[in-house]
Amino acid sequence: MDLALNCIKISHRKNTENCETLVYPVPETVCIPMLQHMGSPCKPLVSVGDEVKVGQKIGDSEAFMSVPVHSSVSGKVIAAEDFLSAAGKVCKSITIECDGKQTVSEDVKPPVITDKASLIKAVRESGCCGLGGAGFPTHIKLNFDENKTPIDSLVINAAECEPYITSDYREMMENPEDVLNGIKIIQNILQIENVYVCIESNKPKAIELLTDMTSGDNSIKIKRLSSLYPQGAEKVIAYNATGRTIKEGELPSNQGIIVMNVSTVAFLNRYFKTGMPLIRRRLTIDGNAVKSPCNADVPVGTSIGELLRFAECDEDKVKKVLTGGLMMGMCIYDLSTPVIKTNNAVIALKNDVKKTQTNCIRCGRCINACPAGLMPTEFEKAYKQKDADRLKSLRVNLCMNCGSCSYVCPAKRNLAETNQLAKMFVSQSNQEKRNNI
Amino acid sequence: MKKLIVSPSPHVRSGITTQKIMLNVIIALCPAVIASGMIFGFRAIFLILVCVATSMVWETLFNMIAKKPNTISDLTAVVTGILLAFNLPPTLPFWMAAIGTFVAIVIVKCLFGGLGQNFANPAIVGRIVLMLSFTGAMTNWTLPLARQTSDAITGATPLVSQNAEYSDLFFGMTGGCLGETCALALIIGGIYLVIRRIISPITPLFFLLTVEVFSAIVGADPLYQILSGGLLLGAIFMATDYVTSPITMWGKVIFGIGCGIITCVIRFYASMAEGVSFSILIMNILTPYIDMITKAKPVGAVPAKKED
């Protein structure tokens, strides 16, 4: 069952798997963007000159798809400016000069959770979004309609299939109680029958540790997945855990599944205990330009340039800096870019991938690599001809941008990039059609 | 502000390149090259070298005239040269071979837009053009050096004579095109390509299986049919050409079966003794249609709603 979806082998480069998490010192200033999750940006609740404390809410929104933003330091707001995110979206950002005292806000107190409604409310107030990278607001994920499809499976995504990244692995090794207690709370309140903690086989110690700790509990199953990419993609892990296919246009909840990242559940447990919202996160600092790769627990808003200096990165040699993994990470254009909630790694590279493109030889490697069963080479041809109908019938919208097609292509064609362009082209042409009617 | 490179993901690529794939095909062809030299003598090797050299010259010249970057470093011209040479009798005059490579490289490949754009296998078309233009020279089958006597230098191919020994067919001690006779060398090359994951074994297996079943049904000797003629060369090295064969697994199945049926129909019912090249050419032409009906199935796709 594990191998039913296409996947590829890539080298793991888990250099930091045995690096205990270092606590990053309080920086001099932090810059906290108002959009760190998937959805609508927050409106700032503080203005220049205001004093803020650790854990104080500094941004919120009335939009459905949004989570509040909190200050990660105590100090004084010195700027509130427009900010261009790596994803190309503009939002406000709050720059805070730290006073170094780290005074905790009086709002920080453990939430009282008795039922589903209070859980959802507390999760929203924690500022929690998916920590695996996509940043889907967690309270929306948990607030499913149980009358539609009953949720019977909670899939905990601990695959960590991207090269270099070990932050989820360190979470499991250092805070296994948080992981399991977080799971228990969500499982009990939402009354979910089965929990599958899915871990790739390249993390045998984590599998062993969690299996031992759950030996008396039949409702939590630790699943060993083969170390293949993209094992941690939501649809792939949901399929490999439960055997159910999430269909086009569906969320996992339509199939009775909730998929949560392992670091997200561990954070939620700490939040339920202490009431401290999501203001710090663990990330892996690695890459061939980094001299001492490590895992660090970093306040949100710390600049990536400072982080790289912390890991003894040779700044002159750095050509490319990524937030996230090698396969799906995004390039930042400026070293002063701040760390946000969804960053699970910062990777600094000395070289760019060589890209001498040659003609497609129709070898079919991209088709055999696509976990969604798509035909990337056909997308490329249809996109060149601007054929929106063909792109639609080939289901370009199902591409999850895992990058496997580009990775395996012997002609080094930028297939994943073209897929994204094609998706945008299709939605534009749909829009035009609607306007013409 | 330090300037950083910004590019779309993924930020890592596999080591495989078109050039490496072609190099592997060349390595897989080496046993058959050596076998042809041992069976038909030095001239066979020399003919292969002529084909390879002229292929590279034609491609270079075309790219110079068309003002395109030279593409011979992708090694596809070398592969085409060797494959075309394998389809020629050892005695063919060199200038005829050069015409064959011209047709294969310039007319079939370059004029259609170069690598990846040709609709038919260049080496196959090269062979067919030579076959139709110089039928005499192209059917002058010398016997292997070890089988030549003072009064018999040439002889019929096993498909015509129908009386060769299995061991001779397996080790290539029969008359025929210089690369097609030694089944052992071709099978070694094929196994190498499958192990290195360069080709999928689906097409050759279905091709051979179809010929076997068809032969058994019409009462011919299936093993003899598989070992003789250009069947193994065609099935392993020509029908598996990426560019001109279907891209999906089921497409490859249809392609293999189609090649097998057409080969047998020509061998048993047409006036020609051998039908492998024509069968592959016909299936090459059908490839876009096979691709159309054998699209990969997207995971979780729901049928499109009718638009009002």
pLDDT in tens, A308-342: 999 999 888 899 999 999 999 999 988 999 999 99
Name the pLDDT band for B85 (thresholds 50, 70, 90).
Answer: very high
Torsion sign across C-alpha atoms A115, A116, A118, A123: positive
Q: Would you call A248 and B301 a contact, using CB atoms and an 8 Å cutoff? A: yes
Alpha helices of chain B — where are they, by DSSP H?
18-40, 42-65, 76-86, 94-102, 122-133, 135-138, 158-161, 166-171, 183-195, 202-218, 222-227, 231-233, 249-269, 276-293
CB atoms within 10 A of CB B264: 23
Query: Residue range A258-266: average pLDDT?
Result: 95
For residue A56, the 8-state DSSP code is -
Query: Residue range A103-116: average pLDDT?
Result: 92
Q: SS in 3 state form for A342-372?
A: CCCEEEEECCCCCCCCCCCCCCCHHHHHCCC
**With 70 as the cut, is the pLDDT of residue B192 above it?**
yes
For A433, name the nearest residue in chain B, comparing CA atoms only: B307
Name the pLDDT band for A2 (thresholds 50, 70, 90).
Answer: very low
What is the CATH number that goes with domain B18-292?
1.10.3430
Q: Would you call B7 and A247 a contact, using CB atoms and an 8 Å cutoff? A: no
Predicted local confidence at residue B308, as pLDDT: 43
Nearest by CB to A326, from B11, B16, B248: name it.
Answer: B11
Name the pLDDT band for B305 (thresholds 50, 70, 90).
Answer: low
Nearest by CB to A361, from B115, B295, B302: name it.
Answer: B115
Query: Residue range A275-285: average pLDDT?
Result: 95
Mean pLDDT for chain A overall: 92
Query: Residue range A74-101: average pLDDT?
Result: 90
Chain segment A389-434, per-residue pLDDT in tens: 999 999 999 999 999 999 999 999 999 999 999 999 999 999 988 8
Angstrom distance (rounded) from CA B28 to CA B193: 6
Q: Which residues of B touch A352 (CB under 8 A)?
A: 5, 7
Closest CA to B180 of B124, B245, B97: B124
Q: Would you call B4 and A331 a contact, using CB atoms and an 8 Å cutoff? A: yes
Chain segment B226-274, per-residue pLDDT in tens: 998 899 999 999 999 999 999 999 999 999 999 999 999 999 999 887 8
For A236, name the nearest residue in chain B, comparing CA atoms only: B299
Name the pLDDT band for B154 (thresholds 50, 70, 90).
Answer: confident
Q: Would you call B300 and A246 a contact, using CB atoms and an 8 Å cutoff? A: yes
Contact A403, A371 (CB under 8 A): no
User: Which residues face B289 on adjacent strands?
Assistant: none
The predicted complex's ipTM stands at 0.90
Greater confidence, B270 or B1? B270
Greater confidence, B303 or B289? B289
Q: Would you call B242 and A362 a contact, using CB atoms and an 8 Å cutoff? A: yes
Angstrom distance (rounded) from CA A190 to CA A118: 11
Q: Is B308 on the interface with A (CB under 8 A)?
A: no
Q: Which residues of A touch B20 (CB under 8 A)?
A: 410
Indicate the residue type of A166. T
User: Domain spans of chain B?
Assistant: 18-292
Chain segment B40-65, per-residue pLDDT in tens: 999 999 999 999 999 999 999 999 99
**Angle, nearest 10°, between helix axes B94-102 and B42-65?**
40
Query: Residue range A106-129: average pLDDT?
Result: 93
Torsion sign across C-alpha atoms A255, A256, A259, A262: negative
Indicate the residue type of A254. N
Q: Which residues of B touch A403 (CB under 8 A)?
A: 9-10
Q: Residues A116-274: name the CATH superfamily.
A: NADH-ubiquinone oxidoreductase 51kDa subunit (3.40.50.11540)
Query: Residue range B174-182: average pLDDT?
Result: 90
User: Which residues face A51 on adjacent strands?
Assistant: A76
Query: Residue range A10-26: average pLDDT?
Result: 93
- Distance (Å) from the alpha carbon of A112 to chain B's nearest alpha carbon: 40
Query: Residue range B181-187: average pLDDT?
Result: 95
Nearest by CB to B6, from A246, A331, A412: name it.
Answer: A331
Angstrom distance (rounded) from CA B164 to CA B210: 22
Q: Which residues of A touch B113 (CB under 8 A)?
A: 359
Name the pLDDT band for B213 (thresholds 50, 70, 90).
Answer: very high
Closest CA to B248 of B198, B293, B299, B300: B293
Cβ–Cβ pairs < 8 A, chains A and B: 154
Predicted local confidence at residue A1, as pLDDT: 37
Domain with CATH 3.40.50.11540 in chain A: 116-274
Greater confidence, B151 or B21? B21
Chain segment A336-395, per-residue pLDDT in tens: 999 999 999 999 999 887 778 899 999 999 999 999 999 999 999 999 999 999 999 999
Predicted local confidence at residue A299, as pLDDT: 96
Q: Would you call B9 and A327 a contact, using CB atoms and an 8 Å cutoff? A: yes
Q: Would you call A353 and B11 a contact, using CB atoms and an 8 Å cutoff? A: yes
Indicate the residue type of A268. L
Angstrom distance (rounded) from CA A163 to CA A322: 12
pTM of the model as a whole: 0.92
For A244, name the nearest residue in chain B, comparing CA atoms only: B300
Contact A230, A198 (CB under 8 A): no
**With 70 as the cut, is the pLDDT of residue A3 above it?**
no
A15-38 residues labelled b (16+ CB within 10 A) or e (exposed): bbbebebbebebbebbbbbbbbbb
Predicted local confidence at residue B146, as pLDDT: 81
Name the pLDDT band for B38 (thresholds 50, 70, 90).
Answer: very high
Chain segment B92-132, per-residue pLDDT in tens: 999 999 999 999 999 999 999 999 999 999 999 999 999 99
Backbone angles phi, psi at A319, to 5 degrees: -110, -30
Closest CA to A340 of A10, A97, A1, A41: A41
**With 60 as the cut, is the pLDDT of residue B306 above it?**
no
Name the pLDDT band for A26 (thresholds 50, 70, 90).
Answer: very high
